[in-house]
């Protein structure tokens, strides 16, 4: 019997550590690195790390190939680049490489050199952890010897890279934790169910309207959280009107299920979405802004939508969406989409270009 945390719990702990600015230790077969999220690395901690550095153990800043493209850095590792730190690199240098906010006003960050030799698996893991912590996808990585002793003596979380890597593409099982009746404007016969993942991550919600027949296709929507659109009535996107129209249609039909998935900003989190909006104010479109930050166009994992539908007893849907990726995911995870129900509401002068970009670059159906 042991009370030791398993790899899932260690990964959850590592995410929390990185968000606080604490380093984590990632160990591989032949090497190990100390990894810090670029975004939360404090001046003091960088000073401590520099003081601890041993000769030959040079730090690198791991960034995604998307960010590297903007910075004109060679990504020798395919999906990422390990940027070498100049001798005088300080916090401002690290922030400027990680964060595109000042790219236009301060374009000369380089020329930046990236590492070609050695493995990048641990750096890839570090970036994946910063992404899942909803931080900028950039990590300062410093080689360490004797990782187990190092982690123990500094009280740091130690992650075994070989155990962690296959889990990064997995999603944590979700369990229903509470549900209650919720009369709503769209329907008095509403019920809100909360699902909680095992890994300490964000909860997701299912709004059930009426008592949909489990043996027939249910009118369903996978709605990704959009604080600005859903709550503030932002005119930059169509989320708020889509949310209300979907609920209204379910109310009118007397049955349906709306999954409210906490995947703010297409999975990059609200902080990064606001960074993307700020880049959009500089003239970049929604896809370019994600790429300059180092993200893919869409970082969501829609499969958790089918996990919840299945847990609720549904196996086929009439899906309210304009996004073919949602339909493809449903089909690939064994939920039949018998019909796509278009959801075209909320076009404004402010979001016309955004919707056109989604149609042109992300394949959204018009």
Q: Which residues are catalytic?
A: 298, 300
- Indicate which single residue of 131, 326, 329, 337 sits in contact with ligand GTP (rule: CB under 6 A): 326
Cα distance between residue 104 and residue 87, in whole Å? 25
Q: CB under 5 to 8 A by kind: which of Zn ion, ligand GTP, none does 204 bind?
A: none
The binding track of 230-259 with respect to ligand GTP, each residue x by CB under 6 A or -, is -------x-x--x-----------------
Token reading at 219? 């009118």
The binding track of 272-301 with respect to ligand GTP, each residue x by CB under 6 A or -, is -x--x---------x---x-----------
How many binding residues for ligand GTP (CB under 6 A)?
22
The binding track of 176-215 with respect to ligand GTP, each residue x by CB under 6 A or -, is ----------------------------------------
The binding track of 44-63 with respect to ligand GTP, each residue x by CB under 6 A or -, is --------------------
How much is the CA Rg of the chain, to the nearest whole Å? 22
Q: Is 229 in the site for Zn ion (CB under 5 A)?
A: yes
- For residue 140, the SS3 value is strand
Q: CB under 5 to 8 A by kind: which of Zn ion, ligand GTP, none does 147 bind?
A: none
Element counts in the chain: helices (H) and strands (E) = 14, 13
Give the range of 131-139, 161-169, 222-230, 291-299 binding Zn ion by CB under 5 A: 222-230
109 is in an annotated binding site: no
Cα distance between residue 48 and residue 55, in whole Å? 15
What CA dihedral angle connects 22, 291, 286 and 298, to 10 degrees?
A: -70
- Indicate which single residue of 225, 226, 279, 287 sits in contact with Zn ion (rule: CB under 5 A): 226
Cβ nearer to ligand GTP, comparing 17 with 298: 298
CB atoms under 10 Å from CB of 157, counted, come to 21
- Indicate which single residue of 224, 249, 306, 316 sits in contact with ligand GTP (rule: CB under 6 A): 224
- Indicate which single residue of 174, 219, 237, 257 sits in contact with Zn ion (rule: CB under 5 A): 237
Q: What's the min distance (Å) between Cβ of 2 and ligand GTP?
A: 39
CB 26 within 8 A of CB 159: yes
Q: CB under 5 to 8 A by kind: which of ligand GTP, Zn ion, none does 187 bind?
A: none
Q: Could you please report the per-residue DSSP string of 64-127?
A: EHHHHHHHT---TTSSEEEEEPPTT--HHHHHHHH-GGGTTTS-------B--SS--HHHHHHH
- For residue 60, the SS3 value is strand
Give the range of 125-133, 158-166, 190-198, 230-238 binding Zn ion by CB under 5 A: 230-238
Q: Could you please report the per-residue DSSP string of 234-250?
A: -SSSSHHHHHHHHHHHH
Q: CB under 5 to 8 A by kind: which of Zn ion, ligand GTP, none does 322 bind?
A: ligand GTP
- Indicate which single residue of 135, 322, 329, 346 sits in contact with ligand GTP (rule: CB under 6 A): 322
Q: Is 316 in the site for ligand GTP (CB under 6 A)?
A: no
- Cα 340 to Cα 222, 251, 328: the distances in Å are 12, 18, 11
Cα distance between residue 160 and residue 163, in whole Å? 5
Give the side-chain half-sphere CA count within 13 A for 202: 15
Q: Is 68 in the site for Zn ion (CB under 5 A)?
A: no
- Find, among 144, 150, 137, 118, the residue nearest to 40 by Cα: 137
CB 122 within 8 A of CB 141: yes
Cβ nearer to ligand GTP, comparing 66 with 266: 266
Q: Is 323 in the site for ligand GTP (CB under 6 A)?
A: yes
- Find, among 95, 97, 67, 93, the residue nearest to 80 by Cα: 67
Q: Is 317 in the site for Zn ion (CB under 5 A)?
A: no
Chain residues binding ligand GTP by CB under 6 A are: 223-226, 237, 239, 242, 263-266, 268, 273, 276, 286, 290, 321-323, 326, 358, 364
Chain residues binding Zn ion by CB under 5 A are: 226, 229, 237, 239
Annotated binding-site residue numbers for GTP: 221-225, 242, 264-266, 286, 321, 326
């Amino acid at each position: 019997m042991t009370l030791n945390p398993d790899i899932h719990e260690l990964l959850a702990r590592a995410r929390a550590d990185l968000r606080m600015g604490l380093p984590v230790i990632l160990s591989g077969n032949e090497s190990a690195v100390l990894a810090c999220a670029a975004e939360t690395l404090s001046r003091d901690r960088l000073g401590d790390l520099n003081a601890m550095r041993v000769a030959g153990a040079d730090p690198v800043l791991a960034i995604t190939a998307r960010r590297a493209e903007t910075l004109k850095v060679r990504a020798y590792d395919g999906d990422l680049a390990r940027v070498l730190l100049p001798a005088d690199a300080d916090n401002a240098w690290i922030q400027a490489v990680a964060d595109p906010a000042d790219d236009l006003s301060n374009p000369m960050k380089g020329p930046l050199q990236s590492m070609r030799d050695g493995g990048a698996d641990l750096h890839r893991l570090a970036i994946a952890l910063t992404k899942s912590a909803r931080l900028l996808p950039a990590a300062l990585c410093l080689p360490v010897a004797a990782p187990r002793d190092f982690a123990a003596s500094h009280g740091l979380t130690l992650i075994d890279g070989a155990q962690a890597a296959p889990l990064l593409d997995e999603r944590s099982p979700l369990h229903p934790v509470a549900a209650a009746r919720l009369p709503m404007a769209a329907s008095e016969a509403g019920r809100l169910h909360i699902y909680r993942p095992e890994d300490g991550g964000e909860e997701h919600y299912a709004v059930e309207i009426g008592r949909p027949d489990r043996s027939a296709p249910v009118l369903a929507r996978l709605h990704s959280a959009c604080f600005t659109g859903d709550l503030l009535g932002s005119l930059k996107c169509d989320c708020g009107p889509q949310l209300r129209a979907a609920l209204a249609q379910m109310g009118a039909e007397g049955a349906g299920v709306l999954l409210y998935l906490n995947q703010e900003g297409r999975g990059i989190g609200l902080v990064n979405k606001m960074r993307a909006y700020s880049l959009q104010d500089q003239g970049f479109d929604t896809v370019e802004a994600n790429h300059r930050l180092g993200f893919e166009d869409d970082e969501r994992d829609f499969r958790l939508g089918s996990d919840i539908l299945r847990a609720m007893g549904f196996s086929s849907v009439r899906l309210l969406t304009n996004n073919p990726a949602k339909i493809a995911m449903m089909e690939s995870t064994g939920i039949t989409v018998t019909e796509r129900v278009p959801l075209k509401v909320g076009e404004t002068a402010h979001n016309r270009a955004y919707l056109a970009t989604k149609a042109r670059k992300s394949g959204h159906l018009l």
